[in-house]
Amino acid sequence: MLANAYGILICILGVIGIAWILWTIRDGDAERYAEDAARQFFERHGHWPDETPEEAEEERLRLQASPAAAPYVSRADADGLV
């Protein structure tokens, strides 16, 4: 009797596991698809979907004005080594 109960439990868990795998295959990449769509929007419009063009321009200006925005350029010494 106990063996039958374990057998039934294992079958139920197997069906639940297969259903979870199928659900993950079908709907599991929704977050990834949303990120891809946001990146395509950014490429077309130059700003993220959740910000206005004005906010994006302010962010660009703020980043350009920061000291970290200046690229570090190595210069060769007298021996030509960088």
pLDDT of residue 77: 77
Helical segments of 1-82, H only: 2-27, 30-45, 53-65
Radius of gyration of the chain (CA): 28
- The residue extents of the domains of the chain are 1-28
Q: Which two tokens stand for residue 10?
A: 């294992």
Q: Report d(CA 21, CA 28) in Å as an integer.
A: 9
pLDDT per position as a tens digit, 57-70:
998 888 888 776 66
pTM higher than 0.85: no
pLDDT per position as a tens digit, 3-32:
899 999 999 999 999 999 998 888 878 888
Q: Report d(CA 66, CA 63) in Å as an integer.
A: 5
pLDDT per position as a tens digit, 36-63:
999 999 999 988 999 999 999 998 888 8
